[in-house]
Structure 1
Amino acid sequence: MGSALDYSKFEEGRGVNYWKLDRAIRRELRRIYTDEEFEWAEPRLTAFGEVVGHTIADNADYVDDHGPELESYDKHGEVQNRVRYPAELLETERLAYEHGIVADAFETPPDRDEPMPLSHNLAMQYLLSYADPGFDCPVAMTAGAALVLEKFDDGSLAAYYEALTSRDYEGLIEGAMFLTEKQGGSDVGAAETLAEYDDEADCWRLTGEKWFCSNIDAEGTLALARTPDAPEGTDGLSMFLVPHADPDRSDGPWTKGDRLEDGPLSPGEVNDQRYRRLKDKLGTISVPTGAVEFGGAKASLVGEEERGFEQMTEMLNLERLSNAAASCGIIARALLESKIHAANREAFGETIDQYPLMREDLVDMTVDHEAATAYVFEVARLFSERERAERAGDTADDTYRLMRLLIPIAKLRTARMAVDTASYAMEVQGGNGYVNDFVTNRLLRDAQVLPIWEGTENILSLDVLRALEREDAHEPFRAAVEERLESVSHPALEDAAETVEAEFRDLETALVTLAGEDAEYAQLSAKRLSHYVFDVFTAALLLEEAQIEIEDGDGRLALVANRFVTNELEKREARGMTGGDRFVLEAFDAVVHHEPTDYESLLDRQEEV
């Protein structure tokens, strides 16, 4: 079970090892990895948690005040599109990529027989986002671009795939995804960027404007464009790889090593595009975001023409999971800062974690964190399972249908949770939390973009309806929930399991009702439906995990599961004020400090209630 964690011995949530302190992510990865995978990964995640908690955490605060700068023109007035990066951000880049954050999930590490599952990439993104969710954006897009080339490239872009998945920093390029246009926004099918084939140059050339482009000078940028005579809407879009450097300047992509050795490109070596400006954002300062005007930029077609939207959705699945993993990392850091502050801050003669209201807050923040982490990494497991099946030539239809339902919900729910948790973590810190000297200020600013990136909550809710209608995703969803509930038998979980079973049946009734209603009414209910799916699935998942841990002699997760069900699914008379519930006071040390809890004590508590 491990010993209780004493947060009073820390001054703040830095200078620590995030992997060692985060028992939730350790539990979830032990569950979804094979024994061999976990044995291989644990020392590497320990090392990464150490470097993120020390060097990268310090770098992130510096970069927040001294972020990348765009130098649009050289001294002769020629367009050069140079982004100048602070040395601290370049150090963070090297540390993250050379720890295998992308490479290990695509290329077999030297001491393994196959790559790690993509859930490993997401776990490292989670740890990275304790310190720098902004830089996690380029990492996520690098993995996403590699996934697209792995799935759809005919081999002509092999040099770019190898550079995207390099574990050697000098040989690395980063990825990006340029989708958004002024007139389109979330309506990707409204894209007007034109791609025309240049017979003389033997390449495609892109003309048009992309409006919100993160990692603006990436060498592995993917962009959607419409070829001549292509149909309107998403059916007419094709996917292109658009390098930052003119591809004719050398035999291969312009790598990090080339940048370090040769310095910035001359104006004539830059691809035909203009970076108008870097956007003055609220947060995520470590990733340069701007508007890009393609003026005949050279590009390579990825796969077949007019398949771009399909290819984009494959990348988007991973990007949305990356967003959710980053959200969980922000929640974890906000929670850690809150626990440490509450264990050290004295008011009226006691540390503030001794007061009932603060105890309730910390218990529920912990429950939210563990619920979000359990959900996201279960979906990561499904995503990894499907990708491995495809590599082996299998379709894994049921897995795909289930993950198509659960992925947009993962991003939808956790992004909002990250904003709410970071906001409350500022309040726990008091006035200090509101100023730039304390990390909660940045956590909230960085979190605020997560509900926007990769689709707003409304867009994601509509995607949930599409998954149910087109993929019949309710069928594997029903099977997954029923299987988990059937595994729960311990008396300490009985009441919660009955509540989840009842809500599950109500959810099924809602699904049937919406299937028979008109599209307008279904859309009106889509957001509530998405949250309902999250609550029921997460509750069943936590109960299943709690049952397993009770069988191993640890009752703590049963407390977490019961509290989640109470908060999200239980209907309480007078909002719980007349029932005499003192759960947060009795369970505080077990939930917040991970104090060992045996299952006999759970039975005793059940009898008392």
Structure 2
Amino acid sequence: MDGPPFEYGEYEEGKDVNYWRLNPALQAAAGRVYPDEEFEWAAERLEEFGGVVGHTIADNADLIDEHGPELRTYDRHGDLLNEVRYYPKQFENEELIYERGILADAFEPPPGREEPLGLVHTLTMQLLLSYADTGLVCSQSMTVGAALVLRNHDHGNHYEEYFEGLTAREYDDVIEGGMFLTEEQGGSDVGAAETTAEPVGVPREATSSATEEATGRDDEGTAATDEEGRGVHGDGGVIAPEDPIETRTYELTGEKWFCSNIDAQGTLALGRRPGAPEGTKGLSLFLVPHELPSGELNPQIYRRLKDKLGTESVPTGEVEFDGTTGYLVGEPERGFKYMTTMLNWERVTNSVGAVGIIGRLLLESKIHAANREAFGQPIGEFPLLQRDLVEMAVTHEATLSFAMEAARWFDRYERDHGDDRAFRLMRLLVPVSKHVTTRAAVDTASYAMEIQGGNGYVREFVTHRLYRDVQALPIWEGTANILSLDVLRAMETERAHEALIPLVEGYLDDVEHPLLEEQATTVREEFRALQEALVALGSGDGDYAQHEAKEVTEYIYDVLTAVLLLSRAQRSLAEDSDAREAVVARLFIEETFSDRDARGVTTGEALPMEYFDAVVRYDEVDPNRLAESPSG
């Protein structure tokens, strides 16, 4: 089958297919956010990668889920081993993704190019990989995150060898990254971390003096200025001041509670040096390798692996530091600021990963609906299920549009740390996207299981695994409440909403097609209301702002997503005379913003059924046909 409209009855299940080829919405979204010349080069590679994921990696992922990693902390003589054993198919999957440049392409020119690709390319590949294995995305993404931290904050290139391993293309040269952030007593309160870091070979008094010199704090640990430690833009920055530290080697003592990719060679962890203040302002960042340069194991104890609900392909466990070697990254007491580089990256990854899972769930549901018969006909011909599939497809394209927009601004900021607009939009859109897309993925997984019936609840069917895996996404790198509070901080400290307003206005100004006029009017009214809500939030007290933070976060998502869908509909109408995207935009806007009498039941409209082939099978829509619809 060459292309849309797709006949899903030709497939038995949602693998042994090409995920890129079966997702025209992703192709169009990538084309919008990549720089033009980069997308022209990347499109062929993405199609090839979509086939590899849809065939080999998807098959392997099912087997890996049945044979999760096993930990041997000690050998038979009682000596420390810290060995994680993997099912062999794990190594095959890793080689397939790393040697296709999912990581390296963003840091070094791939074969056939003179320049690296942006991180939006890595994120698009991660989205495709999420169709098959969320756990594999996790380990690969933390490797990229660790590389970003070293690239941005390892002033003086102290750890060039680690950076080269984290960004290697040849699988035998790759070392993976990790992030040991959470401690049992702190959870989301990172500032409550109790891990200590003692300098090796430096008197305590010298370290305390160096702390004051490097951070501008007095003996009480008070910040010299409000902007202390915030670098260029408050996320760790890229400033490289003089380095007064007498040693970069420390011994760490403490416990880390939820450590994914536990045996990574390029792990980053937070600890507190002697004399450093309490809270996040006193944390420094350390590179903690699995093996020391001598080849000996780093003296840490991998206590146990977590018995998780899902994401079996990435080992998550508890780590005990006991004189463990850690190498100071960047300046002391700026560790949390540096770590936000990785946190923001991981949140974008969670978001595109959620969209990838929604895409796989939607594909499985379409195929099942086309093949499963009940009462003498395929269940996909029943109006109720048609409506469900259309709504699922609209959710997919809505979350896809927003997640790729967040990816675009993250990528743009990483290309140019002096781009203030990109920084502000990245800071706002990333937590919004992570919150809404991951929750949408959980809801979609639940209903996709229902579409499969009893089989959806059985381990041998992939919806069972996707449902287990997707539950991690709203938790990793910040729950809904933490993300909503971060949206507040982005608006309060970086004035991020001031960059959002012209972004929305710019997209809306380009929407001028008559078929979109009614929906554009609705969205303009909601945009004005959103601005009023932001003013109310800023003028209220702190408790009120926290109370409404999640509501505002989701309101930002709804308005910007509607604008993005209208923008792509405008382009499709203007360039291709195709009204399919206009149908999707209309469905999203009516569902999100319309206050219809009797919930719309009395209108006589059945748009999801009328445009089922267009939305679900990617068929084209004649603009004249949409114009004749009741609300056209």
TMscore range, shorter length? over 0.9
Question: Does the aligned pair in 1 maintain the 2:3–2:22 contact within 8 Å?
Answer: no
4+ residue stretches of structure 1 with deviation over 4 A? none
Q: Which amino acid aligns with 1:561?
A: A
Residue of structure 2 in register with 1:190 after alignment: 192
Question: What does residue range 299-378 of structure 1 map to in structure 2 within 5 Å?
Answer: 299-378=326-405
Residue of structure 2 in register with 1:240 after alignment: 286
2:167 to 136, 159, 165: 165
After superposition, the C-alpha distances for 1:439-474 in whole angstroms (9 at most, x for unaligned) are: 000000000010100000000000001111111111
Q: Does 1:205 align with 2:207?
A: no
Describe the SS at the equivalent of 1:112. Answer: coil
Task: Quote the Cα distance in structure 2 between the aligned partners of 1:603 and 1:11.
Answer: 37
Question: What does residue range 519-558 of structure 1 map to in structure 2 within 5 Å?
Answer: 519-552=542-575, 553-558=577-582
Describe the SS at the equivalent of 2:309. Answer: coil
Q: Which amino acid aligns with 1:420?
A: D
Question: Does the aligned pair in 2 maintain the 1:165–1:172 contact within 8 Å?
Answer: yes
Q: Which amino acid aligns with 1:125?
A: Q
Question: What does residue range 113-512 of structure 1 map to in structure 2 within 5 Å?
Answer: 113-153=114-154, 154-199=156-201, 203-249=249-295, 269-390=296-417, 395-512=418-535
Q: Which amino acid aligns with 1:518?
A: D
Describe the SS at the equivalent of 1:21. Answer: coil
Task: Quote the Cα distance in structure 1 between the aligned partners of 2:191 and 2:351.
Answer: 25
Task: Quote the Cα distance in structure 2 between the aligned partners of 1:229 and 1:367.
Answer: 54
After superposition, the C-alpha distances for 1:351-370 in whole angstroms (9 at most, x for unaligned) are: 11111110110001000000
Task: Quote the Cα distance in structure 1 between the aligned partners of 2:537 and 2:273.
Answer: 38
Name the TM-score, length of structure 2 as normaliser.
0.91
Q: CA deviation at 1:110?
A: 2.5
Task: Quote the Cα distance in structure 2 between the aligned partners of 1:327 and 1:232.
Answer: 35
Residue of structure 1 in register with 2:84 after alignment: 83
* More divergent stretch after superposition (279-288 vs 195-204): 195-204
Residue of structure 2 in register with 1:259 after alignment: none
Describe the SS at the equivalent of 1:605. Answer: coil
Q: Which amino acid aligns with 1:586?
A: E
Describe the SS at the equivalent of 2:531. Answer: helix
Task: Quote the Cα distance in structure 2 between the aligned partners of 1:339 and 1:559.
Answer: 19
Residue of structure 2 in register with 1:260 after alignment: none
Q: CA deviation at 1:5?
A: 0.8
Describe the SS at the equivalent of 1:54. Answer: helix
1:562 to 576, 579, 586: 586
Describe the SS at the equivalent of 1:247. Answer: coil
Task: Quote the Cα distance in structure 1 between the aligned partners of 2:426 and 2:370.
Answer: 39
Task: Quote the Cα distance in structure 1 between the aligned partners of 2:338 and 2:171.
Answer: 27
Describe the SS at the equivalent of 1:18. Answer: coil
CA 1:53–1:2 in structure 2 vs 1: closer, same or farther (change >3 Å)? Answer: closer
Question: Does the aligned pair in 2 maintain the 1:492–1:606 contact within 8 Å?
Answer: no
Number of residue pairs matched by the alignment: 585
CA 1:493–1:202 in structure 2 vs 1: closer, same or farther (change >3 Å)? Answer: closer
Task: Quote the Cα distance in structure 1 between the aligned partners of 2:441 and 2:29.
Answer: 19
Q: Which amino acid aligns with 1:226?
A: R
Question: Does the aligned pair in 2 maintain the 1:246–1:272 contact within 8 Å?
Answer: no
After superposition, the C-alpha distances for 1:469-511 in whole angstroms (9 at most, x for unaligned) are: 1111111111111111111111211111111111111111111
Q: CA deviation at 1:398?
A: 1.3
- Structure 1 stretches of 5 or more lacking a match? 250-268
Residue of structure 2 in register with 1:255 after alignment: none
Q: CA deviation at 1:603?
A: 1.7
Question: Does the aligned pair in 2 maintain the 1:2–1:596 contact within 8 Å?
Answer: no
Describe the SS at the equivalent of 1:207. Answer: strand
Question: What does residue range 585-600 of structure 1 map to in structure 2 within 5 Å?
Answer: 585-600=609-624
Question: Does the aligned pair in 1 maintain the 2:579–2:621 contact within 8 Å?
Answer: yes
Q: CA deviation at 1:2?
A: 5.8
Residue of structure 1 in register with 2:596 after alignment: 572
Question: Does the aligned pair in 1 maintain the 2:99–2:169 contact within 8 Å?
Answer: yes
Question: Does the aligned pair in 1 maintain the 2:3–2:21 contact within 8 Å?
Answer: no
Residue of structure 2 in register with 1:252 after alignment: none
Describe the SS at the equivalent of 2:466. Answer: helix
Question: Does the aligned pair in 2 maintain the 1:247–1:298 contact within 8 Å?
Answer: no
Task: Quote the Cα distance in structure 2 between the aligned partners of 1:115 and 1:593.
Answer: 35
Task: Quote the Cα distance in structure 1 between the aligned partners of 2:376 and 2:610.
Answer: 22
Q: Which amino acid aligns with 1:507?
A: L
Q: Which amino acid aligns with 1:370?
A: E
Q: Which amino acid aligns with 1:476?
A: A
* More divergent stretch after superposition (41-50 vs 522-531): 41-50
Q: Which amino acid aligns with 1:318?
A: W
Describe the SS at the equivalent of 1:19. Answer: coil
Question: Does the aligned pair in 2 maintain the 1:213–1:291 contact within 8 Å?
Answer: yes
Describe the SS at the equivalent of 1:577. Answer: helix
CA 1:202–1:527 in structure 2 vs 1: closer, same or farther (change >3 Å)? Answer: closer
CA 1:2–1:554 in structure 2 vs 1: closer, same or farther (change >3 Å)? Answer: farther
After superposition, the C-alpha distances for 1:259-287 in whole angstroms (9 at most, x for unaligned) are: xxxxxxxxxx2101001100000000000
Residue of structure 2 in register with 1:109 after alignment: 110
Task: Quote the Cα distance in structure 2 between the aligned partners of 1:164 and 1:387.
Answer: 17
Q: Which amino acid aligns with 2:182?
A: T
Identity %: 57
Task: Quote the Cα distance in structure 1 between the aligned partners of 2:335 and 2:160.
Answer: 19
Q: CA deviation at 1:606?
A: 5.2
Question: Does the aligned pair in 2 maintain the 1:64–1:285 contact within 8 Å?
Answer: yes
Describe the SS at the equivalent of 1:192. Answer: coil
Task: Quote the Cα distance in structure 1 between the aligned partners of 2:542 and 2:52.
Answer: 50
RMSD, aligned CA: 1.3
Name the TM-score, length of structure 1 as normaliser.
0.95
Residue of structure 2 in register with 1:52 after alignment: 53
Q: CA deviation at 1:399?
A: 1.5
Describe the SS at the equivalent of 1:20. Answer: coil
After superposition, the C-alpha distances for 1:278-309 in whole angstroms (9 at most, x for unaligned) are: 00000000000000001111111111001111
Q: Which amino acid aligns with 1:184?
A: G
Q: Which amino acid aligns with 1:214?
A: S
Q: CA deviation at 1:62?
A: 0.7
Task: Quote the Cα distance in structure 1 between the aligned partners of 2:116 and 2:433.
Answer: 25
Q: CA deviation at 1:202?
A: 7.2
Q: CA deviation at 1:548?
A: 0.5
Q: Does 1:15 align with 2:38?
A: no
Residue of structure 2 in register with 1:262 after alignment: none
Residue of structure 2 in register with 1:601 after alignment: 625
Task: Quote the Cα distance in structure 2 between the aligned partners of 1:485 and 1:44.
Answer: 33
Q: Which amino acid aligns with 1:196?
A: E
